[in-house]
Structure 1
Amino acid sequence: MTSARRPPVRVGVFGLLGSGNLGNDGSLEAVLGYLRAEHAEAVVDALCGGPEAVAARYRIPATRLHWYRGEYRTASRAGAIAAKGLGKILDVFRTAAWVRRHDVVIVPGMGVLEATLPLRPWGFPYSLFLLCATGRLFRTRVALVGVGAAPIRDRPTRALVRWSARLAAYRSYRDELSRDAMREMGVDTARDEVGPDLAFALPAPPPGPAGRVCVGVMDFHGGNDDRARAGEIHRRYLEGTIRFVRALVEDGRQVRLLKGDHCDTTVVAAILEAVDSPLVTAAEVATLADLMKEAAAADAVVATRYHNLICALKAGTPTLALSYAAKSDALMARMGLGAYCHPAREIDADRLLEQFRELEKRSAELRRTLTERNQETARQLTHQFTALSHTLFKATARQETP
């Protein structure tokens, strides 16, 4: 007697996706590529920050993460405060109903277990906790795949992150620092794996015509612990970046400004106005693939955002990091460019220019290093996706076998 045909596995993807952050969307694209290659029968949809963008770009059904559309705007009026509070209650039931419809939910990459940028506990940490708690309640396997983590001082945020990680059925991290951070927060990481960032799974572009320097900028105000001096940090970052770009222009170099999030547009505009040179232009980018193409067509890249660094390194272009968190330093070391980091909070334009010139002198050597490291990264990602399939999908198939 033949057994009944199993229904397709129902897979949800979850996160601040489609909200303007190219790094987050690149992680989603990498996971969707894996699912379509290895689990083509899976039925996939999303619970995310920008459902319209996700549905249009990736052709999957998508639901809004929050009932209250102004979730990430500061609520100052009584009506907005009440609406935000009501939204927190309604999101419990909305998240539970969505989770219950799935066999597996994947959180693709992103720094979901860190607070290296300003973050409130009742924002995304609360949403992630709801996901993992309802996943455990309804026996839906929640997977945190290739995520970033960092030590968190704020107690409510740390508690929500810790419990989210504990309740997940699968965890893997994008670097050793992330796994160490979760271990220090009381999570048993003995079976958790470490692999490259998921964005390294995206196809690399062919090299383009060189001759310019790409400078990836960020609307940088420090981290979660820097709120009291956020304005000063931003001013110093912007002034240092402007001085560096101006120095490149004085050397006759063409400079291409890159952003990684919609909010970076103001920084791009400020640099264009301050330097005021036809040698400085701004790239129009909508995806990580666009960023990689820009990086592949550059002699060198100097960048702040984590996923701008990934794009440049994946493209095999010598890269200098304006580092704002330990994850950037770890990434650069992993790819063999650990000597080329400069603090984003304390930009010294003269020292930065020295480091940049040294980077260019070693360009040919560093390109060979990046080729070797990218080959190793590809092997590690293949291993990680194989482990993910074994842990999630084979376990799900066993649960459904009549």
Structure 2
Amino acid sequence: MTAARVGVFGLLGSGNLGNDGSLEAVLGYLRAEHPEAVVDALCGGPEVVAARYGIPATRLHWYRGEYRTASRAGAIAGKGLGKLVDAVRTAAWVRRHDVVIVPGMGVLEATLPLRPWGFPYSLFLLCASGRLLRTRVALVGVGADAISDRPTRALVRGAARLAAYRSYRDALSRHAMRAMGVDTSRDEVYPDLAFALPTPAASAPSGPPGPPGPVCVGVMDFHGGNDDRARAEEIHRRYLDGTTRFVRALVEDGRPVRLLTGDACDAAVVAAILDAVDSPLVTAAEAASLADLMKETAAADAVVATRYHNLVCALKAGTPTLALSYAAKSDALMESMGLGAYCHPAREVDADRLLEQFRSLEGRSAELRRTLAERNLAATRQLGDQFTALTAALFPAADHVHTLREAS
């Protein structure tokens, strides 16, 4: 048997910790179950991926200014030419592989501002190349949501239909793809891939109960979704003002606050809150991975967070969590982990109401920690099923070898 050539694809190494955490989970699966596989990446941040994960990596886009706004003729021409070059580059890269995996991420949604000729186009090129060149493309544990913009919806739907394998991180995603015309009858739902990452040990209390401990507040450079462009600044101002007022209220109660981020762009929000509150009780965490975020949340008494994977980290760490929810995926995640009552709209942050919900959350801390422990055990089992199904779909020869070994 020759070693399988496996590619991983996505906006990886680009500063989004959730995306990189999904990659880390898939690499862990490949190294444990298919150590003979030869793995490389086509991704947004190849230098970061190569250095951090030890695999060869190629830049996703030929044109280096792909994600900068093009206002001059040269930049517009460069972007246009880049789309043509990327079609050839993507097909050539896909051709070199037996399997390509898109690890998690919200690749089938537009809950944040998104242009059709950005990542949706790249994903369509990948899946079309896979179908044309007979390379199996797998969308593994991905997120999806209803998309109103027609060009974006057409590209996302086309990519999903052309993929050889699909699974989703929640039932909402599968329902959304079915509503967009994709046959999901053989698609399964599993927990987010980040639940497969190692869990940090929680800080064990020692001695008699002391003063209330730290609160992690995960912030986001939030301007609404793809359909909110006309009121993006208003949404951002409300979100920042409400979150700042909430942090100030915690400080007035004497609570230490750790500000968390999940993407490089969130640093501006952290800076604004630090400047507005101006207290030594408020500090900013410097997390470089989901593992770092989990350690921060494991050490906290409670977490209030916006970004989806900030929530995942807190829930996996077993810490009572309140979601500043910006999309239905956050509500679905919280419901699945038994904390559905603790969601607050990110578009309309009401600091007084949020503080009331937070106090209710802390009042039920012991009960919620037990619930999270049970749900995390179930998530671990379900992700074991996900990886077994993935092996059967993408590595049938290896699955046959495993079966023979078990039988003997």
The question of 1:114 aligning with 2:109 is answered yes
Q: For residue 28 of structure 2, what is the amino acid of its counterpart?
A: G
Note the alpha carbon deviations across 1:81-129, whole angstroms, 9 max, x for none: 0011110000001000000000000000000000000000000000000
Question: Is 2:120–2:156's contact at 8 Å kept on the other side of the alignment?
Answer: yes
* TM-aligned CA deviation for residue 208 of structure 1: 3.0
Question: Is 1:209–1:298's contact at 8 Å kept on the other side of the alignment?
Answer: no
Q: For residue 356 of structure 1, what is the amino acid of its counterpart?
A: F
| SS state at 1:14 partner | strand
* TM-aligned CA deviation for residue 7 of structure 1: 1.2
The question of 1:275 aligning with 2:284 is answered no
TM-score normalised to structure 1 length: 0.97
Residue in 2 that maps onto 1:10: 5
Question: Is 1:16–1:48's contact at 8 Å kept on the other side of the alignment?
Answer: yes
Residue in 1 that maps onto 2:209: none
Question: Is 2:391–2:398's contact at 8 Å kept on the other side of the alignment?
Answer: no
Q: For residue 340 of structure 2, what is the amino acid of its counterpart?
A: G
Share of identical aligned residues, percent?
84
* TM-aligned CA deviation for residue 396 of structure 1: 8.4
| SS state at 2:227 partner | helix
Note the alpha carbon deviations across 1:257-295, whole angstroms, 9 max, x for none: 000000000000000000000000000110000000000
Which segments of structure 1 move beyond 4 Å, counting only runs of 4 or more?
Answer: 395-398
TM-score normalised to structure 2 length: 0.95
Query: 1:165-244 to 2 correspondence within 5 Å?
Result: 165-208=160-203, 211-244=213-246
Question: Is 1:292–1:314's contact at 8 Å kept on the other side of the alignment?
Answer: yes
Q: Choose from 77, 81, 84 the match for 1:86.
A: 81
Distance in 2 (CA, whole Å) between partners of 1:154 and 1:77 is 26
* TM-aligned CA deviation for residue 131 of structure 1: 0.2
Residue in 2 that maps onto 1:266: 268
Distance in 2 (CA, whole Å) between partners of 1:395 and 1:204 is 32
Q: For residue 283 of structure 2, what is the amino acid of its counterpart?
A: T
Residue in 1 that maps onto 2:405: none
Note the alpha carbon deviations across 1:151-203, whole angstroms, 9 max, x for none: 00000000000010000000000000000000000000000000000000000
Q: Choose from 380, 383, 400 the match for 1:381.
A: 383
Aligned-residue Cα RMSD (Å) equals: 1.0
> Using a 3 Å threshold, how does the CA distance of structure 1 residues 397 and 9 change in structure 2: closer, same or farther?
farther
* TM-aligned CA deviation for residue 207 of structure 1: 1.1
Q: For residue 134 of structure 1, what is the amino acid of its counterpart?
A: S
The question of 1:36 aligning with 2:38 is answered no
Q: For residue 69 of structure 2, what is the amino acid of its counterpart?
A: T
Residue in 2 that maps onto 1:60: 55
Distance in 1 (CA, whole Å) between partners of 2:286 and 2:150 is 39
The question of 1:140 aligning with 2:158 is answered no
Distance in 2 (CA, whole Å) between partners of 1:127 and 1:337 is 36
Residue in 1 that maps onto 2:337: 335
Question: Is 1:217–1:303's contact at 8 Å kept on the other side of the alignment?
Answer: yes
Distance in 2 (CA, whole Å) between partners of 1:200 and 1:70 is 34
* TM-aligned CA deviation for residue 397 of structure 1: 8.6
Task: Give the length in aligned residue pairs.
Answer: 393
| SS state at 1:242 partner | helix
Q: For residue 29 of structure 1, what is the amino acid of its counterpart?
A: E
Question: Is 1:208–1:293's contact at 8 Å kept on the other side of the alignment?
Answer: no
> Using a 3 Å threshold, how does the CA distance of structure 1 residues 103 and 245 change in structure 2: closer, same or farther?
same
Residue in 1 that maps onto 2:403: none
Question: Is 1:209–1:297's contact at 8 Å kept on the other side of the alignment?
Answer: no
